[in-house]
Structure 1
Amino acid sequence: MPLRPTIHRHDDAQSSSAAERCMLLAVYFLFNLGLTIYNKLVMDHFPFPYIVTGVHALCASCGSYLFLLTGVFRPVELYRKEQLVLLLFSFLYTINIAVSNISLNNVTVPLHQVVRAITPLFTILIFVLAFRKSYSFMTYVSVIPLVAGVGLATYGDYYVTTFGFLLTLLGTFLAAVKTVMTNRLLTGRLKLDPLDLLFRMSPLAFMQTLIYASLTGELSRFSDYARTGMTRTMFASLLGNGIIAFGLNVVSFTANQKCGALTLTVAANIKQVLTVALSFMIFDLKATFTNVIGIILALAGGAIYAYE
């Protein structure tokens, strides 16, 4: 008799209090928003996506090593097969960040947000097809206004090339895969500490970015830039970018472990529409009727998901 897929309320997550989950998601909002804006500003003046990715990985390596030295976490012993899994995960981690950074150079931020908004759909698809999971009907329903709402809320300055769109779509799929695999490493059989996972994966990701940068000729162009165009301000900007990226990685991994992969992607969508809403208020921008409907739809989808 074939086994029926188990219906999960949302997805794998370690037990934690509601207050702790809300705090984690709030901090995740702040770091995610800050890094998105910071990345765009840096990439406008520093067109080296692999190098930026390398800075992220290097800061994560140094930061997690400092936490190891201070005894915040203890690395678990892994067998060769498990080390291979982490190596493959590091490839996914590196490519995901690099593709996202490259796509930001080929599309506008509003369009980038719209395409990235379908990450929950990819996440559900991966869980259903790869792990034979199923969700309640209302969970599926909640994703529809959540995704559509982001599209309407960010409707505006759309510029895209075919290459840029396909690259952004690929980055969205890779982001979903990375989020799911992170969840499995943190809550599955290994149950790695978020800092332990970052400590093992970041040095591998850093070396990979250098290889990618060399193969694409970016490392050579960066060398020329470093001799003639690198300023102290740009160096400080890159360092700050890397520190924020490290903070986001720690918070993101921890939230993934405590709240679940799908919840994290839903939270990312809510972050996008809240960002749009705040920008209208802070910068006194004129919101269209379409934008307002989008914000309401997305928040309603998030509320349905949270209630369910």
Structure 2
Amino acid sequence: MLKAILLVTLAASASAITTPSSMLSRGVQNFPATESTPLLVSGGSSSLQSTSLIEPATTVSLFLLWYALNVMYNIINKRVLNKLPHPMSISTVQLMTGSMYYLVTLLIRGKPKLPCPVHAPAKAIYASAFGHAAGQTATVISLEAGAVSFTHIVKSLEPFFSCVFTFLSTRKVMDFRVYLSLIPVVGGVGLACLDKLSYNHLAFFAAMSSNAFFAMRGVKSKQALNSTELDAPNLFGVVTCLSALMAIPFALGFEGLALFDGLKGEGELIKKVIISGLFHYLNNEVMYWTLSRVTPVTLAVGNTVKRVFIIVASVIVLGNEVGTKSIIGSSVAICGVMLYSLVKMKYDQ
């Protein structure tokens, strides 16, 4: 199962290498619509019918692949952390694995240098990289300290932090209904945190920190995209490479070489750490492919469903104990995230 998911994703990634980056850089508006595709063979109606079936099937497959990568990443991560409690080092190795994957794809494309233009907004890119490194590290610390389900319930609060950082960075005030839609998210997470079965202080504060760092990354990434030649997938690749470099000294300073000592003679564990890094990078890449085929609203709803998949899978596979308050709180929070996404997109137009 694990190898099948990885092979399918790598095959899809290889086929996407020849896709023009402009197609992926700005989302659905640059993706050619099925209805406008010329009919190249006789019997146009049957060709159109065939195409109309292939496109939705491909989109659904991408969503399922995205969910599978996320679920497998979280489950593998937790199992590795149970045996090797070195979250900062594991997070850094995962970022390094993603960086190596991105650099290899650049070589395959015949672009041996990082696509970082001279006029790129360096401050925004470096700030985004710092947010990515710190957010990833905080997430892995939370996963190591507590249950996967609890971490993702708390991470449902990321939209709240996005609103705060957007205001602090751009002074942009959103419609008051957008802020009101965050109430069930905050309330649901608060209720889930009252459940003593799953609550953990370190897991909570680490997940909250990751929310703040990822919100900062989102704001700074948007600034970089609006003022640089980099498209979204390449910006994420550059940010991943920079974040890996930033994370290395912190991992060595806090945990030293303990991870490598623990990995000696553990071939299976080494493989899992590397695969988790690939899954972490590839799930973001698949997200960009998915966005190129659907509207942002559909992607936002899909992202909410993704979190449900992760929580349910962690409960089933890892046997996390979940109390009544956690179930009710997470349900309210996740519905709140979906409401926030829909309301925000409506009033952003």
Is the structural similarity TM-score above 0.5? yes
Structure 1 match to 2:218: 179
Shift of the 32–237 alpha-carbon distance from structure 1 to 2, 3 Å rule, reads same
TM-aligned CA distance change 1:67 to 1:158, over 3 Å: same
Match of 1:101 in 2: 140
Distance 1:72 1:149, change over 3 A: farther
Residues of 1 paired with 2:205 and 2:244: CA distance? 25
Distance change >3 Å, CA 215–CA 266, structure 1 → 2: farther
Correspondence for 1:201: 239
| 1:271 partner amino acid | K
- Distance (whole Å) between structure 1 residues aligned to residue 263 and residue 332 of structure 2: 46
Is residue 2:252 matched to residue 1:220? no
- Counterpart amino acid of residue 55 in structure 1: V
* Aligned-residue offset at 1:124: 1.4
Shift of 1:160: 1.9
User: Could you tell me which residue of structure 2 aligns to residue 38 of structure 1?
Assistant: 76
2:279 aligns with: 244
State yes or no: 1:51 paired with 2:89: yes
Q: Which residue of 1 aligns with 2:105?
A: 67
In the other structure, the counterpart of 2:228 is 190
Using the TM superposition, give the Cα deviation of residue 191 of structure 1 relative to its aligned residue in structure 2, in angstroms: 4.9
Is contact 2:119-2:228 (8 Å) kept?
A: no
| TM-score of the pair, normalised by structure 1 | 0.73
CA contact (8 A) 2:132 2:217 kept: yes
Q: Whole-Å Cα distance in 2 between the matches of residues 224 and 54 of structure 1?
A: 16
Aligned CA-pair RMSD = 4.1
Is the contact between residue 149 and residue 295 of structure 1 (CA under 8 Å) also seen in structure 2? yes
**SS of 1:158's equivalent?**
coil
Q: Percent identity?
A: 21
Greater relative contact order, per chain length (Cα 8 Å cut-off, separation 6+) = 1
What does 1:1-308 align with in structure 2 at a 5 Å threshold? 14-16=27-29, 27-71=65-109, 76-79=115-118, 82-149=121-188, 157-161=197-201, 163-186=202-225, 188-216=226-254, 218-227=255-264, 230-252=265-287, 268-276=303-311, 293-294=328-329, 297-298=332-333, 300-301=335-336, 302=338, 305-306=341-342, 308=346
Structure 1: where are the runs of 5+ without partners?
1-12
TM-score by length of 2: 0.66
Kept after mapping to 1: 8 A contact 2:124/2:220: no
- Write the letter of the residue equivalent to 1:60: G
Asked if the contact 2:63–2:290 (Cα under 8 Å) also holds between the matched residues in 1, the reply is yes
Query: CA separation in 2, counterparts of 1:15 and 1:129?
Result: 29
- The residue type paired with residue 121 of structure 1 is F
Mapped to 1, the partners of 2:313 and 2:262 lie a distance apart of: 36
Contact 2:87 2:141 in 1 (8 A): yes
Aligned 8 A contact 1:114 1:151 in 2: no
Task: Name the aligned partner's letter for residue 183 of structure 1.
Answer: K
> Structure 2: which 5+ runs fail to align?
1-25, 34-55
User: Partner letter of residue 306 of structure 1?
Assistant: L
Aligned to 1:6: none
Cα deviation, residue 196, structure 1: 2.0
- The one-letter amino acid of 1:130's match is S
Q: SS at the partner of 1:44?
A: helix
Relative distance call for 1:149 and 1:25 in structure 2 (3 A) is: farther
Aligned length: 290
